[in-house]
Amino acid sequence: MRSLIIKYVPGAILLLLLVFGIYKNPAITEKLSAGKSQNQDKTTFSSMEAKLDSLAKTPKQTDLNPGAMCYEPVCITDYANFVCSKCNKSTILSREVVENIRNAKAMLTNIRGLKIVIDDSGFCGHCNKNKTDHFFKITIFYPDRKEPVTSKLYIHQTGILTQFLKGNLIYKGERDSESDMKTYLPLLKKILLGIEDKREQ
């Protein structure tokens, strides 16, 4: 019996360490959540259309806060490593951008009820050779649609999308600024339904 314990216990401990080590490894969990979000895919394309239609019909928002003016020049003094979830390679970006990417990704993965897959390779210097055009590629799957809706989403648009999905009629932006969500209807239609309405833009 004793010899059995000696024989198996170290193996069991090693196995436990391996299992927990994997689940605790942030790089691996990050990869899982970036590749495919675990959100439910309950929202249908037609219910999204109805949600956007109802936004179009809401009265114009008044008494909005324009937000504090700020003309401070942005100095990039600090850099950070961005690791692409597609190719796993690193790109040096300003720390602010890396933090913004992380926050935006967290906001997108927290969207409930909508099946949305986030691709951050648009920020990667290896996957996206365009040095100035940085974006998320997001793909939305609807249970009543065969083809998913794919679009580019820029960091500053993430708040508009997530706040609309929460049902907000006023978009709260930087420095307490407020704007009518209706202003973003063309953008929301493009991202959520794949519909480009040139007349409205």
Q: How far apart are CA 62 and CA 177, in angstroms?
A: 13
Q: How far apart are CA 88 and CA 93, in angstroms?
A: 15
Choose the stretch contacting Zn ion; rule: CB under 5 A; options: 9-17, 75-83, 118-126, 144-152.
Answer: 118-126
83 lines the binding site for Zn ion (CB under 5 A)? no
Among positions 19, 50, 87, 92, the unique one binding Zn ion when judged by CB under 5 A: 87
CB of 154 to Zn ion, least distance (A): 18
Among positions 84, 93, 118, 165, the unique one binding Zn ion when judged by CB under 5 A: 84
Choose the stretch contacting Zn ion; rule: CB under 5 A; options: 24-32, 38-46, 78-86, 111-119.
Answer: 78-86
124 lines the binding site for Zn ion (CB under 5 A)? yes
Q: How far apart are CA 32 and CA 16, in angstroms?
A: 21
Q: How far apart are CA 30 and CA 52, in angstroms?
A: 32
CB of 88 to Zn ion, least distance (A): 7
Q: How far apart are CA 85 and CA 136, in angstroms?
A: 11
Q: How far apart are CA 159 and CA 111, in angstroms?
A: 11
CB of 134 to Zn ion, least distance (A): 12
Q: How many residues bind Zn ion (CB under 5 A)?
A: 7
CB-nearer residue toward Zn ion: 111 or 124: 124
β 149-153/136-141 pair status: antiparallel
Percent helix, percent strand, percent coil in the chain, to nearest 5: 45, 15, 35
Q: Give the CA-trace dihedral at 121, 41, 56, 61, to 10 degrees.
A: -80
CB of 111 to Zn ion, least distance (A): 23
92 lines the binding site for Zn ion (CB under 5 A)? no
CB-nearer residue toward Zn ion: 24 or 129: 129
Q: Which residues bind Zn ion (CB under 5 A)?
A: 84, 86-87, 121, 124, 126-127
